[in-house]
A and B are shown apart, each in its own frame.
Chain A
Amino acid sequence: MTGDRRPWLIRAILLVLLVAGAVAFPKVFTNPAVTNYGVLALIFVTVASAWNIFSGNSGYISLGHAVFFGSGAYAMGIAARDWKVQGTTVFALLPLVAAVGAVIAVIFGLIALRVRRHTFIVITIAVFFIFQLSAFNLRSFTGGSAGLNSPFLNWPSAGYNTPFYYIALAFAGGTIAIAVAVRRSRFGLQLRAIRDDEDRARGLGVRAMRVKLTAFVLSGAITAMIGAVWFYYINQVEPQTGFDPLFDLLIVLMAFLGGYGSIAGPVLGALIIEPGTLWLNTQPQFSGGYLSEILLGAVFLVIVLFVPRGIIPTGGEWVMRLRTRGRPAVVPAVAGAAAVGSTAGSAAAGPASTGDAPAASPASKGGAR
């Protein structure tokens, strides 16, 4: 029993340290340039995790999540402008922003989720451009190409980033908690069944459209809220920053780098890529940002070619391989060896002991096929 308990204890300690570190970060690094990295990194941790709740579990790759991010930013800006909301009370608008994101996700989802794979991806891109063009052209509503400015927050300029840091941290933590809850739930299992074989899942009683749409709405609502926070942090939103095509690619890159579908993967990816690009943009030789974008493209290529499943799953395998030194990690009895053997391509050598015949013989047959 103690052997089982220890990894659990180590995990708990690591988690506490991680949370303590995250909370202490702006106290230790008071330089606003550094806390800026923290705020934006946490915003992207939230976005990437929210994206992963839908896309990572369902296998439907959305390249249109900027729709929610931008809509959240604009919803906050328009509400604050038209209702003349001043000061920190704007944050009371966040549930409304979530509702806006949810409504958009329902309509968007009912259209896009009728199709799969490439077609779904293309539709998300198309919807994205509809939103960006609307932001440009509905001038009286969105402010056109000039965008919107956020009302002034009368927070002291010295530690201006700090409250934003904690808001973003709360969002990141909350989103990760939701991601864990989804992963452990029936709902999450249904999503992953849809990812593997949607038609088969429907034949086993999974109401695919409802499940997909629920995940899409959840993901969209979170993304819209963090978009609104981002808007207040940056103080303005323009059509090309709120609805930024690069934003969509960044999220996908973060998820794929860290480990698409895992919970820690997108978090890690966001923590690597967002500060990385921010830093590159401050370097004189990368000024203008174009070189850093080229570099991002190169990183994407390297990931797809060499760690296609991302750091977390592949890293886990490497650790496992080191520990077991090349031996298969799990050898569950005789038929288990047969099953492992058949996947490794080697023929399972004769089903051995008694009682294993039914299970083991198909394995050897399967290996021969």
Chain B
Amino acid sequence: MTALLRTEGIKKAYGGVQALNGATISVDEGTIAGLIGPNGSGKTTLFNVITGYQRADEGQVHFAGKAITNAAPDKVFAAGLGRTFQLTRIFPRLTVLENMLVAAQHKRQQRHTVRRRAMELLEFVGIDRHAGLLAGSLSYGQRKLLELAYVLVADPAVILLDEPAGGVNPTLINLIADRIRELNSQGKTFLIVEHNMEFVMGLCSTITVLESGAAVVSGPPEMIRTDKRVLDAYLGADVEDDDHDGTDPADAGAQEEIR
């Protein structure tokens, strides 16, 4: 497998705060990758740099073999990289269907084809019956679903999700996880920032841990669960109690990529 999305040594400072300090991560094609780390470790900043919302001071972003470092958000999206936001961002004064059509804009397709695709996706996330309502009247969970759906309209190759399970109830979390798995089985690649460990561990095949703006360790969930530095840095007692599944610590060390 090849890395579809890769960042190399990204640095980003806000005044005196070094939000990212040489962040190097890679996401293989067709996988669901997780990005975890304590608050302030630079996860969202890394998302913002990848998707062009913030400029990197140093380092590079590669997507599908091309450098997209510091490209404008609309260019990044057109290249095939869609994202959602931590605090869900929809267009409240457009209808749900219109929200979907905004994302469809850059493709020169027939109007009715786009509409049908938009309705299919709304159905896929289960909010198609609200198509005619103003998006501002949706509940928080429905907004999360809408955001996921409209990112899909343009059929991006990689989808970056910033806390998809944040602030939603368990039923909806399961629905979102199901939808992500289904999309993944259709070939979509995901990179997910999430604090809900259960969600991340259950969904992702590779997890990268950020700490103070740099990737500390990267590997499969079983390895992350047991990695000493991860436990120290982030997970604490929470996951320590989890059943060990026999991952060899030495093996885990071999998979370590960074630092």
Among A192, A208, A332, contact of B91 (Cβ-Cβ < 8 Å)? A192
Contacts of B126 in A (CB 8 A): 358-359
Q: Chain A's nearest CB lies how many Å from the CB of B151?
A: 8
Q: Chain B's nearest CB lies how many Å from the CB of A330?
A: 7
B169 touches A192 (CB 8 A): no
A203 touches B74 (CB 8 A): yes
Q: Chain B's nearest CB lies how many Å from the CB of A55?
A: 15
Of B98-106, B186-194, B203-211, the one touching chain A? B98-106
Contacts of A197 in B (CB 8 A): 89-91
Complex CA–CA separation, A196 to B143 (angstroms): 14
Among B89, B102, B136, B150, contact of A206 (Cβ-Cβ < 8 Å)? B102
A365 touches B141 (CB 8 A): yes
B3 within 8 Å of A (CB atoms): no
A363 touches B53 (CB 8 A): no
Contacts of A335 in B (CB 8 A): 127, 129-130
Complex CA–CA separation, A230 to B115 (angstroms): 44
Among B83, B101, B137, contact of A203 (Cβ-Cβ < 8 Å)? B83
B94 touches A202 (CB 8 A): no
B197 within 8 Å of A (CB atoms): no
- Number of A interface residues, CB 8 Å? 40
A357 within 8 Å of B (CB atoms): yes
A196 touches B92 (CB 8 A): yes
Contacts of A182 in B (CB 8 A): none
Contacts of A369 in B (CB 8 A): 140, 167
Complex CA–CA separation, A361 to B130 (angstroms): 15
Complex CA–CA separation, A36 to B168 (angstroms): 61
A333 within 8 Å of B (CB atoms): yes
- Contacts A200-B85, A339-B142 given; indicate if A365 touches B102 (C-beta within 8 A): no
- Contacts A190-B105, A203-B53 given; indicate if A365 touches B169 (C-beta within 8 A): yes
A365 touches B139 (CB 8 A): yes
Complex CA–CA separation, A345 to B172 (angstroms): 21
B74 touches A339 (CB 8 A): no
B139 touches A193 (CB 8 A): no
A195 touches B93 (CB 8 A): yes
B142 touches A359 (CB 8 A): yes
Contacts of A206 in B (CB 8 A): 74, 102, 105
- Contacts A186-B105, A205-B103 given; indicate if A332 touches B93 (C-beta within 8 A): no
- Contacts A192-B94, A358-B126, A359-B142 given; indicate if A202 touches B154 (C-beta within 8 A): no
A199 within 8 Å of B (CB atoms): yes
Residue of B nearest to A357 (CB): B171
Interface residues of A in 340-369 (CB under 8 A from B): 340, 342-343, 348, 357-359, 361-367, 369
Among A189, A207, A366, contact of B142 (Cβ-Cβ < 8 Å)? A366
A330 touches B140 (CB 8 A): no
B175 within 8 Å of A (CB atoms): yes
Complex CA–CA separation, A193 to B126 (angstroms): 23
Contacts of A348 in B (CB 8 A): 139
B118 within 8 Å of A (CB atoms): no
A201 within 8 Å of B (CB atoms): yes
Interface residues of A in 181-232 (CB under 8 A from B): 186, 189-190, 192-193, 195-197, 199-208
Contacts of B132 in A (CB 8 A): 330, 332
A273 within 8 Å of B (CB atoms): no
Residue of B nearest to A343 (CB): B137
Residue of A nearest to B127 (CB): A359
A338 touches B139 (CB 8 A): yes
B72 within 8 Å of A (CB atoms): yes
Contacts of A342 in B (CB 8 A): 137, 139
- Contacts A189-B101, A361-B172, A365-B172 given; indicate if A199 touches B73 (C-beta within 8 A): yes
B77 within 8 Å of A (CB atoms): yes
- Contacts A196-B93, A203-B51, A365-B169 given; indicate if A336 touches B133 (C-beta within 8 A): yes
Q: Chain B's nearest CB lies how many Å from the CB of A178?
A: 20
Interface residues of B in 43-61 (CB under 8 A from A): 51, 53
Contacts of B129 in A (CB 8 A): 332-333, 335-336, 359
- Contacts A201-B102, A362-B145, A369-B167 given; indicate if A192 touches B130 (C-beta within 8 A): no
Q: Chain B's nearest CB lies how many Å from the CB of A211?
A: 10
B78 within 8 Å of A (CB atoms): yes
- Contacts A359-B126, A362-B140, A369-B167 given; indicate if A189 touches B103 (C-beta within 8 A): no
Chain A interface (Cβ < 8 Å from any Cβ of B):
186, 189-190, 192-193, 195-197, 199-208, 330, 332-333, 335-336, 338-340, 342-343, 348, 357-359, 361-367, 369
13 contacts between A and B (CB under 8 A): A190-B102, A196-B91, A197-B90, A201-B102, A204-B74, A205-B74, A205-B77, A205-B154, A206-B105, A208-B74, A332-B133, A363-B141, A369-B167
Apart from A192-B93, A205-B77, A339-B138, list 20 A-B contacts with CB within 8 A: A186-B101, A192-B91, A195-B93, A196-B92, A197-B89, A199-B89, A200-B85, A200-B91, A202-B77, A203-B83, A204-B105, A204-B154, A348-B139, A361-B171, A362-B139, A362-B145, A362-B169, A362-B171, A366-B141, A369-B140
The 4 closest A-B pairs by CB, nearest first: A362-B141, A366-B139, A196-B91, A205-B106
